[in-house]
Chain A
């Protein structure tokens, strides 16, 4: 079974990240929602249409899927590739729509180039232009920056941001957690079963206690006497010779109390900062703490 016990809702206009290790079932989920694979059980609605075997063409008319490999006809020009897909979406006079799609990915000048002669980054852009042709309500992007150099990846990410501004719901499958953190309103972490769904900051808060990192010029002679009575400090632990991690509820409001306590104790404060956990920390925590996945 590729995935099981997965349930979530994506709001219109949202950029939703779908994260998980290789073999977690991300691509299968996208293919199932895109009506390419029939589910063995369960139910779903895509773009407001129930996912049934009869509704496949109707759903596919309202969505766009860009697979990891854009799959362009290399012997056809960019515009010929787009003409084919405009025809498949039933557009009778596709010229203006194709022009708009090419303009939105900055490819107007390359419209008559053979796709076989384009770089990988440009092909990804053609794939995005193709996905824009039917003005989809939902766009599924599977690893859109895979194999791209940083500049090309940055361009693709800007284009995805542009989609958000156009009100397109984006379902983004990616391995790049920094990308997901930058782009996504919410993320889901999948490892065959759904591990969690939420905003990146919300997941951080749920998984990691908030803390302040205090660094002093010299080790404190009695740190417990300094941090123990300070308002809002739940616990503390040393991290290095003159560095301490304090578990707190509200770092922003507790930091002044800690500063005052340190100054009263005669300590030379170098820095007091809020400890930051990345989406990567969240991801690793969830994936590593998955006993079922470990047993598989």
Chain B
């Protein structure tokens, strides 16, 4: 049985429906963007009309960093809940009794997180751009926000950073036995790639299209490797029983002959499947 987009989509649809009705997720999705919207707006509006190009560029760069924190942080919290949460609810075992493959489950869950997180990141970016064009007192702000490398980085990094957070979060979730521990670890693990973005934002590296593409490729490779690792970590048996899988040796190992049944002496006889001893 091959990979099925239909099964993956069924998981994705379920995830989105659950998010819509989860006060915790709705709350997180509502509060986090507000936090990450207010700070960049304050930075931009504090830039006076006489501030020079270098200072404007530095301020706008820190704005980009803040805009990328939201799509990196939000998925970590949700992804960390994804597997251990199902386990706690008792819904994981029924899922695993269907023909669903682990790759379909993981990708369905990942898409369920990446769609709202990246969508939210892009909306924040659009709101900042719009506010800058309407209300910024320094015209350099608009041109700094419209720089090609910055826009390209925002478009590329938001899904890739979200991807990192999601795979790390799901990986932790597949191994954790407690939702809170998974979410704390997931949030912490989502931060390292932001350090790279910070280096660009603070002009340690000069932003350029090439640099944005190189970092994007590195993040993409990291995301693919993480997906493979998380797939390997997703052990059905461990998730259901809490113990690791003990595989049968190749060829099936010692085989009990059909009809060979241990019985107490008085009961005796064999079983031919039709109720005839």
- With both beta carbons as reference points, the residue of chain A lying nearest to B271 in the complex is identified as A197
Residues of B within 8 A of A41 (CB): 248-249, 252-255
Residues of B within 8 A of A53 (CB): 247
A197 and B277 alpha carbons, distance in the complex (Å): 8
B interface, by DSSP: helix, strand, loop or mixed?
loop
Residues of B within 8 A of A207 (CB): 266-267
In the complex, the answer to whether A198 meets B275 with C-beta atoms within 8 Å is: yes
Please tell me if A100 contacts chain B, counting CB pairs below 8 Å: no
In the complex, the answer to whether B7 meets A88 with C-beta atoms within 8 Å is: yes
Please tell me if A85 contacts chain B, counting CB pairs below 8 Å: yes
In the complex, the answer to whether A84 meets B14 with C-beta atoms within 8 Å is: yes
Residues of B within 8 A of A127 (CB): 94
User: Residue B245 contacts which of A34, A38, A52 (CB distance < 8 angstroms)?
Assistant: A38
In the complex, the answer to whether B94 meets A130 with C-beta atoms within 8 Å is: yes
User: Residue B256 contacts which of A6, A37, A87 (CB distance < 8 angstroms)?
Assistant: A6
Interface size, chain A (Cβ < 8 Å): 64
A191 and B61 alpha carbons, distance in the complex (Å): 68
Interface size, chain B (Cβ < 8 Å): 58
Please tell me if A57 contacts chain B, counting CB pairs below 8 Å: yes
A31 and B97 alpha carbons, distance in the complex (Å): 9
Please tell me if A60 contacts chain B, counting CB pairs below 8 Å: yes
Residues of B within 8 A of A58 (CB): 1, 99
In the complex, the answer to whether B14 meets A76 with C-beta atoms within 8 Å is: yes
In the complex, the answer to whether B248 meets A40 with C-beta atoms within 8 Å is: yes
A69 and B97 alpha carbons, distance in the complex (Å): 13
A83 and B6 alpha carbons, distance in the complex (Å): 12
In the complex, the answer to whether B277 meets A70 with C-beta atoms within 8 Å is: no
A195 and B259 alpha carbons, distance in the complex (Å): 13
In the complex, the answer to whether B100 meets A88 with C-beta atoms within 8 Å is: yes
From residue A139, how far is it (CB to closest CB) to chain B in Å?
Answer: 11
Residues of B within 8 A of A289 (CB): 264
Please tell me if A196 contacts chain B, counting CB pairs below 8 Å: yes
Give residues 197-229 of A contacting B (CB, 8 Å).
197-199, 202-203, 206-207
- With both beta carbons as reference points, the residue of chain B lying nearest to A42 in the complex is identified as B256
From residue B272, how far is it (CB to closest CB) to chain A in Å?
Answer: 7
In the complex, the answer to whether B10 meets A84 with C-beta atoms within 8 Å is: yes
Please tell me if B42 contacts chain A, counting CB pairs below 8 Å: no
In the complex, the answer to whether A7 meets B14 with C-beta atoms within 8 Å is: no
Known contacts A38-B248, A75-B22; decide if A7 and B258 are in contact (CB<8 Å): yes
Please tell me if B133 contacts chain A, counting CB pairs below 8 Å: no
In the complex, the answer to whether B6 meets A90 with C-beta atoms within 8 Å is: yes
Q: A57-B99, A71-B93, A88-B99 are in contact. List 11 more A-B contacts (CB 8 A).
A: A8-B261, A9-B273, A11-B273, A11-B274, A41-B255, A70-B94, A75-B21, A76-B21, A85-B98, A197-B271, A202-B277
On A, residues with C-beta under 8 Å from B are 5-11, 31, 34, 36-43, 52-53, 57-58, 60-61, 63-67, 69-76, 80, 83-90, 92, 127, 130, 185-186, 193-199, 202-203, 206-207, 286, 289-290
A/B interface sample: 21 pairs, CB < 8 A: A5-B256, A5-B262, A6-B256, A7-B259, A36-B97, A36-B237, A36-B240, A37-B241, A38-B237, A41-B255, A42-B256, A57-B1, A61-B99, A66-B94, A73-B89, A76-B18, A87-B7, A88-B11, A90-B7, A90-B99, A197-B271
